[in-house]
A and B are shown apart, each in its own frame.
Chain A
């Protein structure tokens, strides 16, 4: 029991990464855009966030650098990178009406390429590796909740012994949920994703909603990548370690049935699965086989959700299809 709690508590950081990735993709998919480029977007977010923090520190000097501002820089940098990727995706699929699946795959190739490229260029420029000073590292993975909260049995370590990005993620999930269910713009966005024909007839600007949703969604996903490099990876760029995170996020969107609140526990579950091999040792199972567990579970989840085929847990009806007004 104790080790399970320790596992879930430790998974919080990894879960945060998946949480951002998933929430971003939920927003994108609500507009009917299926962006399979999350993997590439999170890669870009990962490196740009690190570079932004690194450049900020180089600009003001190590002594004067402030953790809070560095975090803002990292978030902002990652968001811009993801939003730009969303812009490219929207331009090609919405304006030029290209196939969304292939454009997304191209985005993955492009994004991982860009991230590796920047990583290597920066490494060469700075001699050795890109990182930030120790006190900024601490600022990024600070667990700021007061001690008495952390000491609450069971819930304490899981809910209160987490990095601040974890809480930002929770707040964001609630905000996105409220946006979808309580605001007019959220309703319009869902209308665009469900039935662009109807939305268009109602006078909603489809193009604008698709562009904005994909860009904001891409930006949020990219923040997930940034959280990964700045916390789990310890503010160092390790290109291989991010691989698969973006794809897991896309899978989690289905698992969470397009509901941002579900992404909270969904990502905690998958975050736990990802690091389970480090915490709960099962004799007789080799580590490398243990490591594929999250992917096997994803498969099982995909199969079960498709077999159950629940009517209110369906993707936005127009997901993956481009809208062309004269195409009727």
Chain B
């Protein structure tokens, strides 16, 4: 056999610096993957007998078309954005924190403790401040525990953070049916005192301002500080970080403290901004959806605003879709799953290029 037949027709080459795809082309591929995801997402919609174009229309209209819908969509987006911000540094570090849900919940528990005990007794500003600090501390503790064990003993953080979710949710269930239960048998914590409600700005709880400020802070933290740099180095190569003399264990714990604190604040925003009571459905899966948001935004804080808005639109719109066209609202989860699949897959076409067998080789062989 000749040399030629042994060279494969094409092979894949990883793009290296200097050979990267142009940003515009890369963006085009990402946009194309979103379009493909929406097309694939229309399959389950069609299965229910609904017209997918109309259904997507209902999703957009049902989440943005009037002030009430818009407010509800923003309400969903606020904690989502804050949790996504929280997850970003962890994922940058390749620390798979999927415990945002639990950190949010535990933060909310700490926050609710003060809301219940101090509500109406001290001025609103102070109580909100105490609640926010309590939530941040609570979330930080919940995030620190898995960070500590990962740093000390390399304990699997994915499962650790996940189990912490169940524990926090279990605690809320116990509190709402036990010590904090209002009327016996209701399994409900009574609504907090008015002084624990976050004020509204433009008709929406002021959490959106806090969230936007946090976007800027996290962006600066991740890109322009020593901490952010250390996190990035650990994510790229643990050994490089160790060789450079970084205290990897402490950086992990510190990042988890921060991440947990942010999740706790997200919990506070839900608690004081809209729920005004605590129950096990408080988080509503925000911690998990935030993973999607973080990754789709490529851990870029500003892009997260857009993506969390997009997922909030899908989430709110799918509820309207359910009411109007009878399509189950779980279609939102399917569409966001497919979105993630497509976005994950499309990176391949950005980072690799196909090299075909060269003509000259053919001639030589012949």
Which A residues fall within an 8 A CB radius of B?
36, 40, 88, 91-92, 95-99, 101-103, 105-114, 116-117, 120-121, 124, 244, 247, 250-251, 254, 286, 288-289, 291-292, 295-296, 298-299, 302-303, 306-307, 309, 324, 326-327
Which B residues fall within an 8 A CB radius of A?
11-14, 44, 47-48, 96, 98, 149, 153-156, 158-160, 162-164, 166-167, 170-171, 173-174, 177-178, 288-289, 291-292, 295, 326, 328, 330-338, 340-341, 344-345, 347-348, 352
A107 and B337 contacting across the interface, CB-CB below 8 Å: yes
Within the complex, what minimum Cβ distance (angstroms) separates B244 from chain A? 22
Complex: how many Å from CA A288 to CA B169?
10
Pick from A103, A120, A247: contact of B341, CB below 8 A.
A103
Residue in chain B with minimal CB distance to A327: B14
Pick from B171, B174, B332, B345: contact of A98, CB below 8 A.
B345
A116 and B330 contacting across the interface, CB-CB below 8 Å: yes
A113 and B159 contacting across the interface, CB-CB below 8 Å: no
B348 and A96 contacting across the interface, CB-CB below 8 Å: yes
A99-B344, A110-B338, A292-B171 known; A254+B13 contact, CB < 8 A: no
Complex: how many Å from CA A10 to CA B344?
42
Q: Hey, which chain B residues are within 8 Å of A109, CB to CB?
A: 288-289, 292, 333, 336-337, 340
Q: Hey, which chain A residues are within 8 Å of B344, CB to CB?
A: 92, 96, 98-99, 102-103, 106
Within the complex, what minimum Cβ distance (angstroms) separates A316 from chain B? 14
A303-B153, A306-B155 known; A296+B167 contact, CB < 8 A: yes
Complex: how many Å from CA A250 to CA B96?
15
Q: Hey, which chain B residues are within 8 Å of A251, CB to CB?
A: 159, 163
A117 and B153 contacting across the interface, CB-CB below 8 Å: no
Q: Hey, which chain B residues are within 8 Å of A247, CB to CB?
A: 159, 162-163
Within the complex, what minimum Cβ distance (angstroms) separates A103 from chain B? 6
A116 and B328 contacting across the interface, CB-CB below 8 Å: yes
Q: Hey, which chain B residues are within 8 Å of A98, CB to CB?
A: 344-345, 347-348
A120-B328, A288-B174, A292-B166 known; A110+B334 contact, CB < 8 A: yes
A306 and B331 contacting across the interface, CB-CB below 8 Å: no
Complex: how many Å from CA A105 to CA B295?
11
Complex: how many Å from CA A295 to CA B292?
24
Complex: how many Å from CA A105 to CA B97?
11
Pick from B96, B149, B164, B178: contact of A306, CB below 8 A.
B149
Q: Hey, which chain A residues are within 8 Å of B289, CB to CB?
A: 109
Within the complex, what minimum Cβ distance (angstroms) separates B23 from chain A? 20
Complex: how many Å from CA A192 to CA B289?
33
Within the complex, what minimum Cβ distance (angstroms) separates A258 from chain B? 13
| 20 contacts across the A-B interface (CB closer than 8 A) | A92-B345, A96-B344, A98-B347, A101-B158, A103-B340, A113-B331, A113-B336, A117-B44, A117-B328, A117-B331, A120-B328, A288-B178, A289-B170, A292-B166, A292-B167, A302-B156, A302-B163, A306-B156, A324-B14, A327-B14
Q: Hey, which chain A residues are within 8 Å of B291, CB to CB?
A: 102, 105
B98 and A105 contacting across the interface, CB-CB below 8 Å: yes
Q: Hey, which chain B residues are within 8 Å of A124, CB to CB?
A: 326
Q: Hey, which chain A residues are within 8 Å of B337, CB to CB?
A: 40, 106-107, 109-111, 113-114
B163 and A298 contacting across the interface, CB-CB below 8 Å: yes
Residue in chain A with minimal CB distance to B177: A288
Residue in chain B with minimal CB distance to A37: B337
Within the complex, what minimum Cβ distance (angstroms) separates A1 from chain B? 28
A303-B149, A326-B14, A327-B14 known; A96+B170 contact, CB < 8 A: no
Pick from B12, B170, B338, B340: contact of A288, CB below 8 A.
B170
Q: Hey, which chain A residues are within 8 Å of B174, CB to CB?
A: 286, 288-289
B332 and A254 contacting across the interface, CB-CB below 8 Å: no
Within the complex, what minimum Cβ distance (angstroms) separates A105 from chain B? 5
Pick from B159, B333, B336, B347: contact of A250, CB below 8 A.
B159
